[in-house]
């Protein structure tokens, strides 16, 4: 499930699924919010269970959000060392998505922290790619995942046998 903030959902103009819908992906629901860094607007997407995050362009968000999200997640998972078969399986699960409202203030709070980091990273290097920004976010230790890195948490979740996965 893609869970967007009200601002993003209004911009997408899509029919919203009930908040009670449950994701079948190992990384859980993906939260999405519009963030402004300097004069540019981006979409920050964060995995509910791992806090792994990707930064996407906000232009054409209505048409390209899900396609850009799955491509960015697949690329980041490959870069952090997730086996290709696990990446393919997760992308398969992500392809069947619904859009709904946010449900976790905790995830939204971490997204605010990540947005501050994005702003600082862009000020230091305005030419930094969105993929590199996403990679940097994957290496920030986070309390809700036992102060591990989101990249390590994502790898652990994707390594769990399908039948043993629990909702996080």
| Helix/strand/coil (H/E/C) assignment for every residue in 48-116 | CCCCCEEEEECCCHHHHHHHHHHHHHHHHHHHCCCCHHHHHHHHHHHCCCCEEECCCHHHHHHHHHHHH
pTM over 0.85: yes
Query: Which of the listed ranges 7-11, 15-19, 154-158 does the model predict with the highest average pLDDT?
Result: 154-158
pLDDT at res. 26? 95
Question: Tell me: the pLDDT tens digits for 114-159?
Answer: 999 999 998 899 899 999 999 999 999 988 778 899 999 999 999 9
Q: Which helix (H) or strand (E) holds 47?
A: strand 40-47
pLDDT at res. 63? 86
Question: Tell me: the pLDDT tens digits for 98-115?
Answer: 888 898 999 999 999 999
Residue 19 has pLDDT above 80, yes or no: no
Q: How confident is the model at residue 165 (pLDDT cuts 50, 70, 90)?
A: very low
Q: What is the distance between the alpha carbons of residues 15 and 18, in angstroms, rounded to a whole number?
A: 10
Contact 29, 23 (CB under 8 A): yes
Contact 5, 103 (CB under 8 A): no
Partners of 4 in the β-ladder? 32, 101
In terms of Cα–Cα distance, which of 89, 34, 26, 13 is closest to 52? 26
**CA 71, chain centre distance (Å):** 11
Domains defined along the chain, listed by start: 2-155 (3.30.420)
Q: Any idea what DSSP says for residue 150?
A: H
* Cα dihedral 145, 4, 127, 115 sign: negative
pLDDT at res. 39? 85
């Amino acid at each position: 499930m893609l869970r967007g903030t009200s601002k993003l959902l209004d911009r997408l103009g899509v029919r919203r699924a009930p908040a009670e819908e449950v994701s079948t992906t190992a990384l859980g629901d993906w939260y999405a919010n519009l963030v402004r860094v300097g004069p540019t607007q981006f979409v920050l997407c964060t995995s509910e269970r791992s806090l792994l995050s990707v930064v996407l362009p906000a232009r054409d968000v209505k048409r390209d959000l899900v396609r850009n999200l799955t491509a960015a997640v697949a690329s980041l998972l490959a870069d952090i060392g997730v086996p290709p078969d696990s990446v393919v399986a997760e992308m398969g699960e992500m392809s069947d998505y619904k859009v709904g409202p946010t449900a976790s203030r905790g995830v939204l709070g971490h997204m605010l922290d990540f947005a501050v980091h994005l702003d600082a990273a862009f000020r230091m290097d305005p030419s930094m790619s969105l993929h590199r920004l996403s990679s940097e976010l994957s290496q920030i230790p986070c309390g809700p995942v036992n102060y591990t890195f989101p990249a390590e948490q994502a790898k652990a979740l994707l390594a769990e046998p399908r039948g043993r996965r629990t909702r996080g």
